[in-house]
Amino acid sequence: MKAVVIGSINMDFTMGVEHLPAKGETIAARSFKESPGGKGANQAAALSRLGADVMMIGAVGRDGMGEILIRSLAREGIDTSGVKVADASTGNAFISVDEAGNNTIVVYPGANYELNMDWVESFKEHIQVSDFVILQMEIAVDTVVKSIEMARKQGTRVILNPAPARPLPDHVYPMIDIIIPNETELALLTGTDDIRAGAKQLLKKGVKAVVVTLGDKGCFYADHDKEITMEGFEVKAVDSTAAGDAFIAGLTVSLGYGDDIKAAIRFANAVGALTVTKAGAQDSIPVYKEVEDFLRRHEK
Query: Annotated catalytic sites, by residue?
Result: 245
> Closest by alpha carbon to 281, among 85, 54, 107, 29?
107
Closer Cβ to ligand RIB, 244 or 272, answer by number: 244
Contact between 39 and ligand RIB by CB under 6 A: the answer reads yes
Q: Which of 12, 79, 239, 283 binds ligand RIB (CB under 6 A)?
A: 12
Closer Cβ to ligand RIB, 147 or 275, answer by number: 275
Segment 99 to 158, residues that bind ligand RIB, using CB under 6 A: 105, 107, 138
Which residue of the chain is nearest ligand RIB when measured via CB?
37
Contact between 239 and ligand RIB by CB under 6 A: the answer reads no
Least distance CB 161 / ligand RIB (angstroms): 9
Least distance CB 297 / ligand RIB (angstroms): 26
Mark residue 247 as left, alpha or beta (left: phi above 0; alpha: psi -120 to 50; beta: remaining).
Answer: alpha
Least distance CB 225 / ligand RIB (angstroms): 30
Residue 235 makes CB contacts below 8 A (sequence gap 6+) with 273, 274, 276, 277
Least distance CB 136 / ligand RIB (angstroms): 8
Residue 60 makes CB contacts below 8 A (sequence gap 6+) with 9, 66, 67, 69, 70, 83, 84, 85, 86, 90, 91, 111
Closer Cβ to ligand RIB, 7 or 218, answer by number: 7
Tell me the three-class secondary structure of 206-248, residue by residue.
CCCEEEEECHHHCEEEEECCCEEEECCCCCCCCCCCCHHHHHH
Which of 72-80, 141-149, 194-202, 238-246 is the region at the interface with ligand RIB (rule: CB under 6 A)?
238-246
Question: What is the gyration radius of the CA atoms in the chain, in angstroms?
Answer: 18
Contact between 177 and ligand RIB by CB under 6 A: the answer reads no
- Binding track over 184-213 against ligand RIB, x by CB under 6 A: ------------------------------
Q: What is the dihedral of CA 29, 35, 41, 45, to 10 degrees?
A: -120
Closer Cβ to ligand RIB, 52 or 93, answer by number: 93
Q: Which of 241, 252, 254, 275 binds ligand RIB (CB under 6 A)?
A: 241
Which of 78-86, 122-130, 222-230, 240-248 is the region at the interface with ligand RIB (rule: CB under 6 A)?
240-248
> Closest by alpha carbon to 150, among 124, 114, 177?
124
From CA 95, how far away is CA 179, in angstroms rounded? 25
Closer Cβ to ligand RIB, 93 or 144, answer by number: 93
User: For ligand RIB, how many residues bind (rule: CB under 6 A)?
Assistant: 16
> Closest by alpha carbon to 38, among 289, 293, 280?
280
Q: Which of 242, 264, 271, 285 binds ligand RIB (CB under 6 A)?
A: 242
From CA 276, how far away is CA 240, in angstroms rounded? 5
From CA 295, how far away is CA 300, in angstroms rounded? 10
Residue 204 makes CB contacts below 8 A (sequence gap 6+) with none
From CA 203, how far away is CA 280, in angstroms rounded? 34
Segment 59 to 98, residues that bind ligand RIB, using CB under 6 A: 93
Binding stretches for ligand RIB (CB under 6 A): 8, 10, 12, 37-39, 42, 93, 105, 107, 138, 241-242, 244-245, 281
